[in-house]
Every structure is written in C-alpha cells, then in structure tokens.
Chains A and B, each alone.
Chain A
Amino acid sequence: MSDAVANHSVHAPAHHEELGFWRKYVFSTDHKVIGIWYGITALLFLFFGFSLMMLLRWQLAYPGQPLQLGWFTKLLGETRMPQGIMLPEFYNQLGAMHGTIMVFLGIVPLAVGAFGNYVMPLQIGAPDMAFPKINLASYWVYFIGGCVMLYSFFVPGGAPQSGWTSYAPLADIASTSQTYWLVGMIFLITSSLLGSINFIVTIVQLRAKGLSFFRLPFFVWAQFITSFLLLLAFPPLEAAGVLQLMDRVAGTSFFLPSGLVVSGQVLQNSGGGNPLLWQHLFWFLAHPEVYVLILPAMGIVSEIIANNTRKPLWGYRTLVYSIIFLGFMSFCVWAHHMFMTGMGTTMSNFFQTTTMIISIPSVVILTSLLLSLWKSSIRFNTPMLFALAFLPMFAIGGLTGLPLGLIAADIHLHDTWYVISHFHYVVAPGTIFALFAGIYYWYPKATGRQMNSFLGKLHFWPSLIFMNGVFFPMLLQGMAGLSRRLYDQTIYEHGKAVQPLSVYISISAWLLAIAQIPFIINFFWSMKKGKKVDSDNPWHSTTLEWATPTPPPHGNFIEPPEVFRGPYEYSVPGEDKDYTPQNERDTKNKKEDA
C-alpha cells in the first residue's frame, strides 16, 4: 500500500500545475485553500458580529441618547435608529445576530473549518482530507448559510430578534426573518455534518505510517472529539429547526400549547405543543456546542505551549482521556441551561451532579497545562503570549461556571450579566485568544513569512486589558441581579445603581476594537513585507506540519512521512538540539522502527 502511495507522489505535483485560477484559488479541493477561505470568511464574520455588539453597547451605556455618526446613522435608517436613537426591536436584533454570528459563523468555522482544515491533515501527514470535494461543498454550504443569515437583515421587520437561542413560542410568532434564521441554520448544520464526517474519516484512515492514536498531536485529538460532537449533537437541532419551520410555515403547533393569547387575540392553532421541547432539543445541541468552541482552542494552546516551553506536555494521556470524557459528558448536562423552567428535585439533582462532574476534566486539563510550565524554558513570542493568557482567562470562565451550575445559586444568577460574563470569558478571551495564538503560530507555515512581533505585542496587551475591562464588570452587574437582554437597564432601581459600570464596559469594548487594528495591519502587511522564515520549521517544532515545504504544495508532503515518536519530544536528554521531530529517524533504534 505504501509503495503505491509513494509512486503516485512522484508525479502528483506536476499534475496540479495545470489548474486555472478558479480551480486553484476559488474552487480548489486543496484542504489548505479551503481552510484559508474558511479562515478569511470567519474572520470577517467575527468582525461583523463584534461590530453589532459595539453598536449595541452604545444603547447600554447611554440609553435613549442619539448616536450621531453622520452617514452611518442615516444608513441604518428610520426602522432601526430614527434620529440615531436605537429602537428596542433593533436592539434585540443586534443581540440575537451577535450571538448567532459569533458562534455559528465566526468561532466554529474559524476553529474547526479553518484551523482544523489547514493544520490537521498536515499534522497527521496526510496528503489532503479523505473527501476533498465534500470538503469544498462544506465550505460553500457554510457560505450560503452565512449569506442567508446576513440577508435576514434586509427582510421587512428586520433581522431575527428572539435571541440566538430562538426560544419558542417567541420565535414561532416572530417576524419573517426568523424563517431565514432557520433556513440559514439548516445550511450551517449541513456544512458542519459534511465537515465532521470528513474530519473523522481523515483522522482514522489517513494517518501517516507509525502515527498511532497516542502519538497524535493534542490538536488533532481535539479536532477528533469536536467532530464527533458536531456529528451527533447537530442533528437534534436540525430536527428542532424543522419543527420550528413547520410551526412558522405550515401552521403546526409543536411548540405552542393550547389557549395562547397573543396581544389580546386568541391564537388560531391546534395547540397541544410544548415550549420546553424546543429548549431540550436546542440545548441538546448547544451544550456540546460549547465544547465545540473550546476544545479546538485547548488543542491550539497545547501545541503552542509545548513548543514554547521546549518541554513535553505534562500528562499527554491524561489530557487525551480528559477531552474524551469532556466530549462524552457534554451530552449529559444540557438541562442545566433550563434550571429556572420549574424543574423538580430529581432532574435538578441529576443535572447539577453531571455539571459538577464535567467541571473536573476542565480542571485537570488546566492543571496539566500549568504543570507543563514547571522547569521549562519559556519563549515569550506573540503566539505564546496569547496562549498563556488563555490559561487565566479560561480559568475565570470555568470557575464562574460553578455558581451557575449549582441550581440554588442559579436562582439569583440565572439570565443575568453574570452568565454573559461567564461564557464570554470562555469564548472571547479564551477561545478567541487561542485562535489569535493559532494565527500567529501557523502564519509562517501558510505564507512563508513571520508576523511582526512588535505589532503582535501591541495587539496582545491592549486586547488583554480591554477584554477584562469588558467582561469583569459584567460579573459585578450580574451579582447585583441585573438581567441580560434589557434594552434600557436604567428603568430598574438596581440597574441604575450599576449603570456606571455599563459605561466602562462599553468604552472598553470600543477600545478593544481599536486594539485589533495592529492585528489587521500586521495580517496584511506581513504577507508582503514580513520577515521571511529561515527554514520550513521556524519555531523548531516537532510535529509533522513543519516537515512540509513552505507553503505546502497541493498534496502537502514531498514523500509520505513516517513517524517514530510521540508529538512533543522537546529537550530530550542526550540530543544535540532541543527538539526531536516526530518524523526524524532515530539512529539508535533504527532496526526496531524499520
């Protein structure tokens, strides 16, 4: 089998020279090109989702005051911001679309679609994904889903405004754009399914010779578990989406109980539905989805920490078992999002206990990463700064989950800013920092040039400060019992008391946006002017992606790599350099490996 592969590889590159512009750059089946498309699209969506939130923060900081931004205010128009004053409908649209875009169009496509696509096949020594055409289809289906979501802004009645959770019956009776949301979601789900099948098959079937499961880089493990979560958790949401679509289009009552009275009118429907059914199906997906957001981030951070501490990761197997357990348990905790629906003691005890249990592997992973620092030799380059910052930020995100997981404490904290702060600490200074780290780390492989390290630091430090400036005061607002999703918080007494914090948060959010400018400049400037890498392995890393030419050609490896050792053999005693790549033939044990 390996002979056949080797023979093909000789004439493979020549064959690909003939592709035209469109086949080479736009409709390419090369996983790296698809990964980059995913990355660019997702970054644009991230920026767009962030912009929605910056606009929304105006209303929270200065409720009811006109936003005078000249043509921009005019552009938004009378149905959204008449004379610059935000309407509550528009506020709800911004909130709902911020959540949807960040989660489904920004972070997941960036973490899985972009990094998974680009890096994973390289790390396992594969020539491409198992099904390149399906991979391409996955991207375009995602793209269409994104377009449908964006189009919903221009539908009469405005964008979806029932929150990213689209709770029924509110979403059942919402304006037209909710239908677009559902159709968009079905596209995005399809895209994820295609992607996850591809990832799993690739990891199972296409690993290089000698690359056993316990020699896989941790990032690949993270993608593997993530793919299973996507594969098995998304279909129930698809089912829920179909049911809500039926409710909206065909007039069924899956989520509508009998005897509903909406604005004084008895709703003419058959009734008999259950509003909690939507929540169950939604959270059955959406809790594993949380781990879809965080696991790839943990993978990226682990790669970068191992590389920049010049030391093997502490407890590689423990880490692997922990994420397997995390993935598995993430299916057993969904109802902790529904504690305030009126749950009985049996159910609440079950879900509280599973929630406490699922916190343990996270603690173990964090501890392992922290222990990896002990007696290491830490290089403070830009990717490492972001990866290191991930640790305390993720710690805050994880710890603040504890009071929310305990149902009695949740009575006070449920649906307050505390919740917002909690999951943003996990995904914003957590996952998004990890994604930035990944961009800085793998950029040289993709372009052959380093990103500028001064601009990198100028990006990192303000980002770290303002991220905390945004999310820490929210914890305090939450403790004060301030509910989330309020268009004007100051009409409540306790809202008035904590209003000054809202101003700080908003200003931090706007400054956070300014802090991204060095990154944007760096990203484009370095493509042309960045320092050229001195070798294919500029970070002196051990994993296989650095064994390819830079940037890797279609087909990736010149010849099929063979793996002889685990992924993080740094500072091995007796070696002359402080890293031993996975594919480096061991002179001492040559017989055994051959």
Chain B
Amino acid sequence: MEIPYTVHPHPVTGIPNGKLGIWLFLASEVMLFGALFSSYILLRVGAPSWPHGYEELSVPLATFNTLVLIASSVTMVMSWASLKLNQFGKFKLYLGLTVLLAFVFLVVKAFEYGHHFSAQEFPRTSTFLSIYFTITGLHGLHVIGGIVVNSYLLLPGSKMWKKDPDRFANRIEYAGLYWHFVDLVWIFLFPTLYLL
C-alpha cells in the first residue's frame, strides 16, 4: 500500500495531507508567537514605565520593511498563481523576487540592529529592548527559514515541476502559506513594537 492523498484531496476533508499539516504547523506557530505577545503584555503592564516604540526605534525603516514584506507576500502568491496558469518562467521570476525581498528585509533589519549595537543598546539594556530583540530575532529566524525553503523550491526543488506539476504547485502553496504567516506576524509586531 502507498500513502494516499499526498497530492490529491481527501474526498471528505477536501484537502491533501500537506495542507492540513502546514496549517497545523501554523497553529503551533500562533501559540509560539502568542506566548511571546502575552509575555510582552505582561512585562509592559507590570513595568513602572515603558518607552514608546517610536522613541527607541526607527519607524521609517520599519515602515519600509513592512511594505517590503507585504510586497514579498504578493510576489509569493503571484508565483503560485503563475504556476496555476502554467507560466513557469513567470513563477521563477516572482519566487525569485520573493527571496530577494526577504533579503532586503533582513538587510534593513541588520542595519537597525547594527545601529542599536553601535549606540550601546543591547538586549540586556532594558526590558523593552530585550523583548524587541527577542521577538524580532525569532521573526528574523523565520524569515531566514522562508528564504531557505523558497530558494530550495526556486532552484533544485523546481525540477519536480516536470515530473509532478500538481505536487509542485502544492509545495509552492504550502511554502506560501508559511511565508504569508511570517508576514502576518510582522503586521502585528510592527505596531506593537514600533508604534505603541
């Protein structure tokens, strides 16, 4: 016997295995970032004073990064749509753009970090900075994870398109779901850390 529903949807649930798997993974990610948000609220409520994010951090850079990440989400979903339209070239272009934008995000983030470090601001400096570095750092790791996955799918992984196009399109969809989630987390992180 071979494992059923690896590509085609289950007749009752209407989805293949991978889709349920990636959503379950995202559910656990919600709990991970939820716990960190919860810790942030707890520490902030308990603190005698708390700086406004815009006093400590660079809002213009973060706004730019937000737009970058949103744009990368669009290119990600466009790459999936291109596959569905059988336009493999366009798919490569869009997915390549996604990876590129992710790199832009990381470079900007690195500038922000570097700026803080040169101003002698480290995670140990204050509670605000510790939670800022921890959450954005963990988010950054997720961005790196996304780059790794997308690069794989862009280069060696895309060979699958010839053999098993449906399965490959599914993979792009799952990678996309993950990537949109990373974007979604940032959408909440941005106002919480920078604007409040």
Contacts and interface: CB of A to CB of B under 8 A. Distances in A.
Instruction: Indicate whether A and B are direct neighbours in the complex (CB within 8 Å).
Output: yes
B28 A235 contact: yes
Among A4, A201, A238, A246, max chain B CB count under 10 A is at A201
B8 to A, nearest CB: 7
A555 B43 contact: no
A281 B13 contact: no
Contacts of A127: 1-4
Contacts of B43: 254, 272-274, 277
A232 B35 contact: no
Sorting the interface of chain B by its residue count into under 10, 10 to 19, 20 to 34 or 35 or more gives 35 or more
A252 B129 CA distance: 9
Interface in B24-67: 24-25, 27-29, 31-36, 38-39, 42-43, 46-47
B35 A273 contact: no
B86 interface: no
14 contacts: A1-B8, A5-B2, A9-B1, A130-B6, A130-B17, A132-B3, A193-B25, A239-B33, A246-B133, A250-B124, A254-B127, A254-B134, A269-B124, A270-B124
A9 to B, nearest CB: 4
A253 B32 contact: no
Contacts, number: 148
Given A231-B28, A236-B32, A239-B39, A131 B130 contact: no
B10 interface: yes
A240 interface: yes
Contacts of B111: none
Main SS at interface, chain B: helix
A556 interface: yes
Contacts of B131: 254
Interface string A558-569: 011000000000
Contacts of A235: 28-29, 31-32, 34-35
Contacts of A134: 21
Given A201-B21, A277-B42, A250 B133 contact: yes
Contacts of B28: 193, 197, 231-232, 234-235
Nearest to B48: A272
Contact of B122 (A4, A9, A251, A556): A251
A375 to B, nearest CB: 37
Contacts of A4: 4
Contacts of B126: 270, 272
Contacts of A272: 43, 46-47, 126-127
Given A128-B3, A231-B27, A204 B46 contact: no
B20 interface: yes
Contacts of A250: 122-124, 130, 133
B17 A252 contact: no
B17 A555 contact: no
Interface in A271-298: 271-274, 277, 280-281, 284
Interface of B: 1-6, 8, 10-11, 13, 16-18, 20-21, 24-25, 27-29, 31-36, 38-39, 42-43, 46-47, 122-127, 130-131, 133-134, 138
A252 B128 CA distance: 10
A479 interface: no
Contact of B31 (A128, A236, A253, A274): A236
Given A1-B11, A235-B35, A270 B3 contact: no
Contact of B123 (A12, A236, A252): A252
B32 A252 contact: no
A204 B5 CA distance: 11
Contacts of B36: 239, 242-243
Contacts of B24: 196-197, 200-201, 231
A2 to B, nearest CB: 8
A8 B4 CA distance: 10
Contacts of B130: 246, 250, 252-254, 270
B31 A206 contact: no
Nearest to A560: B1
Given A197-B24, A205-B13, A243-B36, 12 more contacts: A8-B2, A127-B3, A204-B13, A205-B20, A231-B24, A235-B35, A239-B33, A252-B123, A252-B127, A271-B127, A272-B47, A281-B35
Nearest to A249: B123
B1 A5 contact: yes
Contacts of B133: 246, 250, 252
A557 interface: yes
